[in-house]
Protein backbone atom coordinates (compact mmCIF):
# COMPACT_ATOMS: atom_id res chain seq x y z
CA UNK A 1 0.00 0.00 0.00
CA UNK A 2 2.82 2.38 0.87
CA UNK A 3 4.53 1.77 -2.48
CA UNK A 4 1.25 2.35 -4.29
CA UNK A 5 0.74 5.71 -2.53
CA UNK A 6 4.32 6.70 -3.29
CA UNK A 7 3.82 5.83 -6.95
CA UNK A 8 0.62 7.89 -7.05
CA UNK A 9 2.35 10.89 -5.51
CA UNK A 10 5.25 10.57 -7.94
CA UNK A 11 2.86 10.31 -10.89
CA UNK A 12 0.98 13.40 -9.65
CA UNK A 13 4.20 15.38 -9.25
CA UNK A 14 5.29 14.34 -12.74
CA UNK A 15 2.01 15.62 -14.16
CA UNK A 16 2.43 18.93 -12.37
CA UNK A 17 6.00 19.24 -13.66
CA UNK A 18 4.86 18.44 -17.19
CA UNK A 19 2.09 21.05 -17.00
CA UNK A 20 4.55 23.64 -15.68
CA UNK A 21 7.00 22.91 -18.49
CA UNK A 22 4.21 23.21 -21.06
CA UNK A 23 3.21 26.57 -19.64
CA UNK A 24 6.73 27.94 -19.87
CA UNK A 25 7.13 26.41 -23.34
CA UNK A 26 3.92 28.24 -24.26
CA UNK A 27 5.39 31.51 -23.01
CA UNK A 28 8.62 31.01 -24.97
CA UNK A 29 6.61 30.18 -28.09
CA UNK A 30 4.36 33.21 -27.67
CA UNK A 31 7.30 35.50 -26.92
CA UNK A 32 9.10 34.24 -30.01
CA UNK A 33 5.99 34.89 -32.09
CA UNK A 34 5.84 38.46 -30.73
CA UNK A 35 9.49 39.11 -31.60
CA UNK A 36 8.99 37.64 -35.08
CA UNK A 37 6.09 40.03 -35.58
CA UNK A 38 8.14 43.01 -34.42
CA UNK A 39 11.05 42.10 -36.71
CA UNK A 40 8.84 41.71 -39.78
CA UNK A 41 6.84 44.84 -38.93
CA UNK A 42 9.97 46.97 -38.65
CA UNK A 43 11.42 45.55 -41.87
CA UNK A 44 8.25 45.91 -43.94
CA UNK A 45 7.49 49.41 -42.61
CA UNK A 46 9.82 51.06 -45.13
CA UNK A 47 8.83 49.01 -48.20
CA UNK A 48 6.54 51.22 -50.25
CA UNK A 49 4.45 48.56 -51.99
CA UNK A 50 3.50 46.69 -48.79
CA UNK A 51 -0.22 46.95 -48.01
CA UNK A 52 -1.24 49.41 -45.26
CA UNK A 53 -2.77 46.43 -43.45
CA UNK A 54 0.79 45.28 -42.77
CA UNK A 55 1.90 48.65 -41.42
CA UNK A 56 0.87 50.70 -38.39
CA UNK A 57 -2.38 52.61 -38.69
CA UNK A 58 -1.78 56.33 -39.29
CA UNK A 59 -3.94 57.39 -36.33
CA UNK A 60 -7.37 55.98 -35.54
CA UNK A 61 -7.64 52.37 -36.64
CA UNK A 62 -6.08 49.02 -35.94
CA UNK A 63 -3.94 46.70 -38.06
CA UNK A 64 -2.29 43.38 -37.32
CA UNK A 65 1.05 45.23 -36.94
CA UNK A 66 -0.42 47.38 -34.15
CA UNK A 67 -0.68 44.20 -32.08
CA UNK A 68 2.95 43.04 -32.09
CA UNK A 69 4.38 45.44 -29.47
CA UNK A 70 1.48 44.75 -27.06
CA UNK A 71 2.09 41.02 -27.51
CA UNK A 72 5.67 41.53 -26.38
CA UNK A 73 4.51 43.57 -23.38
CA UNK A 74 1.95 40.87 -22.58
CA UNK A 75 4.75 38.29 -22.65
CA UNK A 76 6.72 40.38 -20.16
CA UNK A 77 3.65 40.55 -17.95
CA UNK A 78 3.31 36.76 -18.00
CA UNK A 79 6.65 36.29 -16.22
CA UNK A 80 7.04 39.59 -14.34
CA UNK A 81 5.25 38.64 -11.12
CA UNK A 82 6.62 35.10 -10.87
CA UNK A 83 10.17 36.24 -11.58
CA UNK A 84 9.86 39.00 -8.96
CA UNK A 85 8.51 36.59 -6.37
CA UNK A 86 11.27 34.01 -6.92
CA UNK A 87 14.00 36.63 -6.64
CA UNK A 88 12.32 38.19 -3.60
CA UNK A 89 12.33 34.85 -1.77
CA UNK A 90 15.95 34.21 -2.72
CA UNK A 91 17.59 37.64 -2.41
CA UNK A 92 15.30 39.79 -0.31
CA UNK A 93 13.48 43.01 -1.15
CA UNK A 94 16.46 45.35 -1.53
CA UNK A 95 18.36 43.31 -4.11
CA UNK A 96 15.17 42.36 -5.94
CA UNK A 97 14.01 45.93 -6.44
CA UNK A 98 17.53 46.93 -7.42
CA UNK A 99 17.66 44.14 -10.02
CA UNK A 100 14.33 45.06 -11.64
CA UNK A 101 15.06 48.78 -11.53
CA UNK A 102 18.42 48.22 -13.21
CA UNK A 103 16.90 45.89 -15.82
CA UNK A 104 14.15 48.23 -16.97
CA UNK A 105 16.28 51.36 -16.70
CA UNK A 106 18.81 49.60 -18.95
CA UNK A 107 16.06 48.82 -21.50
CA UNK A 108 15.05 52.48 -21.38
CA UNK A 109 18.68 53.50 -21.92
CA UNK A 110 19.22 51.11 -24.83
CA UNK A 111 16.09 52.42 -26.50
CA UNK A 112 17.29 56.00 -26.02
CA UNK A 113 20.59 55.17 -27.73
CA UNK A 114 18.78 53.71 -30.74
CA UNK A 115 16.48 56.73 -30.92
CA UNK A 116 19.42 59.13 -30.66
CA UNK A 117 21.11 57.29 -33.54
CA UNK A 118 17.98 57.57 -35.67
CA UNK A 119 17.73 61.30 -34.99
CA UNK A 120 21.41 61.90 -35.78
CA UNK A 121 21.11 59.94 -39.03
CA UNK A 122 17.90 61.73 -39.94
CA UNK A 123 15.84 58.53 -40.19
CA UNK A 124 12.32 59.36 -41.39
CA UNK A 125 13.11 63.04 -40.88
CA UNK A 126 12.65 62.68 -37.12
CA UNK A 127 14.00 65.33 -34.78
CA UNK A 128 12.43 63.69 -31.72
CA UNK A 129 12.09 59.96 -31.33
CA UNK A 130 10.69 57.63 -28.72
CA UNK A 131 10.85 53.92 -29.36
CA UNK A 132 9.14 50.83 -28.06
CA UNK A 133 12.08 50.02 -25.77
CA UNK A 134 11.61 53.32 -23.94
CA UNK A 135 7.91 52.56 -23.55
CA UNK A 136 8.75 49.11 -22.16
CA UNK A 137 11.39 50.54 -19.83
CA UNK A 138 9.01 53.10 -18.33
CA UNK A 139 6.22 50.51 -18.12
CA UNK A 140 8.49 48.11 -16.26
CA UNK A 141 9.51 50.78 -13.75
CA UNK A 142 5.91 51.85 -13.12
CA UNK A 143 4.76 48.25 -12.72
CA UNK A 144 7.57 47.67 -10.24
CA UNK A 145 5.84 50.12 -7.88
CA UNK A 146 2.73 47.92 -7.72
CA UNK A 147 3.88 44.36 -8.41
CA UNK A 148 3.61 43.26 -4.77
CA UNK A 149 0.02 44.45 -4.42
CA UNK A 150 -2.88 41.96 -4.68
CA UNK A 151 -4.25 41.14 -8.11
CA UNK A 152 -7.53 42.98 -7.56
CA UNK A 153 -5.71 46.13 -6.46
CA UNK A 154 -3.41 46.06 -9.49
CA UNK A 155 -6.50 45.71 -11.67
CA UNK A 156 -8.13 48.72 -10.03
CA UNK A 157 -4.98 50.86 -10.20
CA UNK A 158 -4.42 49.99 -13.85
CA UNK A 159 -7.98 50.83 -14.88
CA UNK A 160 -8.06 54.08 -12.88
CA UNK A 161 -4.79 55.32 -14.39
CA UNK A 162 -5.85 54.25 -17.89
CA UNK A 163 -9.23 55.99 -17.59
CA UNK A 164 -7.62 59.17 -16.21
CA UNK A 165 -5.08 59.12 -19.04
CA UNK A 166 -7.87 58.90 -21.64
CA UNK A 167 -9.78 61.83 -20.15
CA UNK A 168 -6.66 64.02 -19.97
CA UNK A 169 -5.60 62.90 -23.46
CA UNK A 170 -8.91 63.95 -24.97
CA UNK A 171 -8.92 67.27 -23.10
CA UNK A 172 -5.30 68.44 -23.25
CA UNK A 173 -2.66 66.05 -24.57
CA UNK A 174 -3.87 64.81 -27.95
CA UNK A 175 -1.63 66.95 -30.18
CA UNK A 176 1.43 66.37 -27.98
CA UNK A 177 0.94 62.60 -27.92
CA UNK A 178 0.31 62.39 -31.66
CA UNK A 179 3.48 64.38 -32.35
CA UNK A 180 5.67 61.69 -30.77
CA UNK A 181 6.26 58.08 -31.85
CA UNK A 182 4.53 55.60 -29.54
CA UNK A 183 2.93 58.57 -27.77
CA UNK A 184 6.22 59.77 -26.30
CA UNK A 185 6.70 60.11 -22.56
CA UNK A 186 3.03 60.95 -21.96
CA UNK A 187 1.93 57.90 -23.93
CA UNK A 188 4.21 55.80 -21.72
CA UNK A 189 1.61 56.27 -18.98
CA UNK A 190 -0.83 54.23 -21.03
CA UNK A 191 1.80 51.65 -22.05
CA UNK A 192 2.50 51.24 -18.33
CA UNK A 193 -1.12 50.36 -17.64
CA UNK A 194 -0.89 47.76 -20.40
CA UNK A 195 1.95 45.97 -18.59
CA UNK A 196 0.29 46.39 -15.21
CA UNK A 197 -2.94 44.84 -16.49
CA UNK A 198 -0.94 42.11 -18.26
CA UNK A 199 0.36 41.00 -14.84
CA UNK A 200 -3.27 40.71 -13.75
CA UNK A 201 -4.06 38.42 -16.69
CA UNK A 202 -0.91 36.43 -15.86
CA UNK A 203 -2.20 35.88 -12.32
CA UNK A 204 -5.44 34.57 -13.80
CA UNK A 205 -3.56 32.20 -16.11
CA UNK A 206 -1.40 30.80 -13.31
CA UNK A 207 -4.26 30.49 -10.83
CA UNK A 208 -4.72 26.86 -9.66
CA UNK A 209 -8.39 26.53 -10.63
CA UNK A 210 -8.78 26.33 -14.42
CA UNK A 211 -6.49 29.32 -14.96
CA UNK A 212 -6.00 28.88 -18.74
CA UNK A 213 -9.76 28.56 -19.29
CA UNK A 214 -10.45 31.62 -17.17
CA UNK A 215 -7.88 33.59 -19.15
CA UNK A 216 -9.77 32.85 -22.37
CA UNK A 217 -13.02 34.13 -20.86
CA UNK A 218 -11.50 37.26 -19.34
CA UNK A 219 -9.59 38.03 -22.57
CA UNK A 220 -12.78 37.74 -24.62
CA UNK A 221 -14.58 40.11 -22.22
CA UNK A 222 -11.67 42.55 -22.48
CA UNK A 223 -11.99 42.58 -26.28
CA UNK A 224 -15.73 43.23 -25.95
CA UNK A 225 -15.12 46.08 -23.49
CA UNK A 226 -12.60 47.64 -25.89
CA UNK A 227 -15.08 47.53 -28.77
CA UNK A 228 -17.79 49.14 -26.64
CA UNK A 229 -15.40 51.90 -25.62
CA UNK A 230 -14.97 52.87 -29.28
CA UNK A 231 -18.38 54.55 -28.91
CA UNK A 232 -16.52 57.08 -26.71
CA UNK A 233 -13.03 57.30 -28.19
CA UNK A 234 -11.27 55.60 -31.13
CA UNK A 235 -8.82 52.72 -31.13
CA UNK A 236 -5.42 54.21 -31.83
CA UNK A 237 -1.87 52.98 -31.22
CA UNK A 238 -0.57 56.49 -31.87
CA UNK A 239 -2.71 57.85 -29.05
CA UNK A 240 -2.23 54.69 -26.96
CA UNK A 241 -5.94 55.06 -26.32
CA UNK A 242 -7.91 53.10 -23.76
CA UNK A 243 -9.69 50.95 -26.39
CA UNK A 244 -6.31 50.19 -27.98
CA UNK A 245 -4.79 49.06 -24.68
CA UNK A 246 -7.75 46.83 -23.79
CA UNK A 247 -8.19 45.41 -27.30
CA UNK A 248 -4.48 44.59 -27.50
CA UNK A 249 -4.50 42.92 -24.09
CA UNK A 250 -7.58 40.87 -24.91
CA UNK A 251 -6.29 39.72 -28.29
CA UNK A 252 -2.86 38.96 -26.80
CA UNK A 253 -4.53 36.86 -24.13
CA UNK A 254 -6.48 34.91 -26.75
CA UNK A 255 -3.41 34.37 -28.96
CA UNK A 256 -1.37 33.22 -25.98
CA UNK A 257 -4.18 30.87 -24.97
CA UNK A 258 -4.13 29.41 -28.49
CA UNK A 259 -0.35 28.88 -28.16
CA UNK A 260 -0.89 27.17 -24.83
CA UNK A 261 -3.54 24.86 -26.25
CA UNK A 262 -1.32 23.98 -29.21
CA UNK A 263 1.53 23.13 -26.84
CA UNK A 264 -0.51 21.29 -24.22
CA UNK A 265 -3.12 19.53 -26.33
CA UNK A 266 -1.34 19.10 -29.66
CA UNK A 267 2.28 18.96 -28.41
CA UNK A 268 3.42 21.75 -30.74
CA UNK A 269 7.09 22.59 -30.22
CA UNK A 270 8.14 24.98 -33.07
CA UNK A 271 11.71 24.96 -31.82
CA UNK A 272 12.98 28.00 -33.73
CA UNK A 273 10.29 30.31 -32.34
CA UNK A 274 10.97 28.99 -28.84
CA UNK A 275 14.68 29.75 -29.29
CA UNK A 276 13.78 33.31 -30.25
CA UNK A 277 11.55 33.53 -27.20
CA UNK A 278 14.39 32.60 -24.86
CA UNK A 279 16.46 35.62 -25.93
CA UNK A 280 13.85 38.22 -26.89
CA UNK A 281 15.74 41.39 -25.99
CA UNK A 282 18.88 40.36 -27.84
CA UNK A 283 16.86 39.32 -30.90
CA UNK A 284 15.21 42.73 -30.95
CA UNK A 285 18.48 44.65 -30.54
CA UNK A 286 20.28 42.53 -33.14
CA UNK A 287 17.54 42.95 -35.72
CA UNK A 288 17.80 46.73 -35.33
CA UNK A 289 21.48 46.57 -36.26
CA UNK A 290 20.74 44.30 -39.23
CA UNK A 291 17.96 46.57 -40.45
CA UNK A 292 20.41 49.45 -40.34
CA UNK A 293 22.28 47.85 -43.23
CA UNK A 294 19.34 48.33 -45.59
CA UNK A 295 18.14 51.56 -43.96
CA UNK A 296 21.50 53.29 -44.42
CA UNK A 297 22.10 52.08 -47.98
CA UNK A 298 19.99 55.04 -49.19
CA UNK A 299 19.35 53.16 -52.43
CA UNK A 300 15.56 52.91 -53.03
CA UNK A 301 15.83 49.78 -55.19
CA UNK A 302 17.58 47.95 -52.33
CA UNK A 303 14.90 48.65 -49.76
CA UNK A 304 12.08 51.21 -50.16
CA UNK A 305 11.31 50.25 -53.77
CA UNK A 306 12.84 46.80 -53.75
CA UNK A 307 11.12 44.22 -55.98
CA UNK A 308 9.19 41.35 -54.40
CA UNK A 309 11.97 38.80 -54.91
CA UNK A 310 14.53 41.02 -53.17
CA UNK A 311 12.23 41.70 -50.22
CA UNK A 312 11.73 37.95 -49.82
CA UNK A 313 15.50 37.33 -50.00
CA UNK A 314 16.32 40.11 -47.51
CA UNK A 315 13.61 38.94 -45.09
CA UNK A 316 14.84 35.34 -45.37
CA UNK A 317 18.43 36.40 -44.66
CA UNK A 318 17.31 38.53 -41.71
CA UNK A 319 15.29 35.70 -40.17
CA UNK A 320 18.01 33.15 -40.94
CA UNK A 321 20.73 35.15 -39.19
CA UNK A 322 18.56 35.80 -36.15
CA UNK A 323 17.58 32.13 -35.91
CA UNK A 324 21.21 31.00 -36.11
CA UNK A 325 22.18 33.46 -33.36
CA UNK A 326 19.26 32.27 -31.21
CA UNK A 327 20.33 28.63 -31.74
CA UNK A 328 23.97 29.41 -30.88
CA UNK A 329 23.02 31.32 -27.72
CA UNK A 330 20.76 28.49 -26.60
CA UNK A 331 23.53 25.96 -27.27
CA UNK A 332 25.91 28.00 -25.10
CA UNK A 333 23.12 28.50 -22.53
CA UNK A 334 23.40 32.29 -22.79
CA UNK A 335 20.13 34.06 -22.05
CA UNK A 336 19.23 37.75 -21.87
CA UNK A 337 15.86 37.99 -20.17
CA UNK A 338 13.38 40.86 -20.18
Gap between the Cα atoms of 206 and 253, Å rounded: 13
Q: Are 34 and 273 in contact (CB under 8 A)?
A: no
Look at residue 121 in the predicted model and tell me its pLDDT.
Answer: 59
- Give the pLDDT score at 81: 96
Largest CA distance in the chain: 77
Which pLDDT belongs to residue 296? Answer: 67
pLDDT tens per residue, range 114-153: 877 766 655 554 555 788 999 999 999 999 999 999 999 9
User: Are 284 and 40 in contact, with CB atoms under 8 Å apart?
Assistant: no
pLDDT at 12: 39
Q: What is the pLDDT of residue 300?
A: 79
User: Which are the contacts of 307, defined by CB distance < 8 A and separation ≥ 6?
Assistant: 301
* Residue numbers of the chain with a pLDDT score lower than 70: 1-23, 118-128, 296-297, 337-338
In angstroms, the CA 63 to CA 65 distance is 5
Q: Nearest 5 degrees, angle CA 47-CA 273-CA 320?
A: 50
pLDDT for the residue numbered 338: 66
Amino acid sequence: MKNLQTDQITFHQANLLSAKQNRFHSIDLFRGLAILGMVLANYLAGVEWISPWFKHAKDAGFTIIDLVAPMFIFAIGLTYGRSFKRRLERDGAGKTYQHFFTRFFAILGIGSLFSAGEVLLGADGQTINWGVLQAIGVAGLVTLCFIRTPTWLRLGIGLVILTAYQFVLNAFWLNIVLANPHGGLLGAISWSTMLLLATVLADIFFSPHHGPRRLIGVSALTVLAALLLTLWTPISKNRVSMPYVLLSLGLSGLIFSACHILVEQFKLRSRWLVLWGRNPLLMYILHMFLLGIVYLSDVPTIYARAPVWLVVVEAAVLLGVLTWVAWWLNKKKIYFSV
